[in-house]
Amino acid sequence: MNPAERIALSRSFFQAMCEPLFLCTVMANDRPNGCVVTQVMQLSYSDTPLMGVALGKENLTCSMVCETKRFGLSYLEMRQTKIAERFGLHSGREVNKFAEIAWQEREGIPLVTDVPGWALFRVCHQIDVETHLLFIAALESASPPTLPVLDRNMLLRISPDVANRLDPWDWLPDALHRGTLHVWC
């Protein structure tokens, strides 16, 4: 199977997963940034609840979490698709994603206001998984979410921009050229 076939297969397989869509946000050197993430997994319900979050190594958010070892995860509502597009389709290297939107700092982490739920985490392990770093992080504080929340498949239906961006044929040639493959499923 060639890389293109493998990506197309994995994408079609993961389509059935109905993952919530989160903003992963971080503050480093007084600068807020963040990105959309769906590669999020609850890992434990123990005294120290753990989450796993995979961040693409090329994302600015990833470098900032490496540096600060802390981040926030916020759910979004259906009506917040513009925020999802802003945080998921643009890099903080090019734009200040927090400009012109209401946000507040909570325990040193920037959080968009009016999100249906958020949690703050401290990184305890970091695992290299080729294109991504997997951050395993302990919950520090949280607000319980108000349902329903936006998920990846809803966003794909609502936002043509995101649907186009997630079409592998859009970015596969470039990723192959650079030798990196990102599979956002």
Residues that bind ligand FMN (CB under 6 A): 21, 33, 35-39, 54-56, 59-61, 88-93, 152, 155, 162, 184
Nearest to 59 by CA among 184, 173, 185, 150: 184
> Are the beta carbons of 118 and 105 closer than 8 angstroms?
no
> Are the beta carbons of 22 and 52 closer than 8 angstroms?
no
* Separation of alpha carbons 151 and 84, rounded Å: 10
Q: Which is nearer to ligand FMN, 26 or 138 (CB)?
A: 26
What is residue 109's three-state secondary structure? Answer: strand
* Least distance between ligand FMN and beta carbon 98 (Å): 11
* Least distance between ligand FMN and beta carbon 57 (Å): 8
| Tokens (6 digits) for 28 | 């480093």
Q: Which is nearer to ligand FMN, 46 or 158 (CB)?
A: 158
* Least distance between ligand FMN and beta carbon 53 (Å): 7
Q: Which is nearer to ligand FMN, 82 or 93 (CB)?
A: 93
* Least distance between ligand FMN and beta carbon 164 (Å): 11
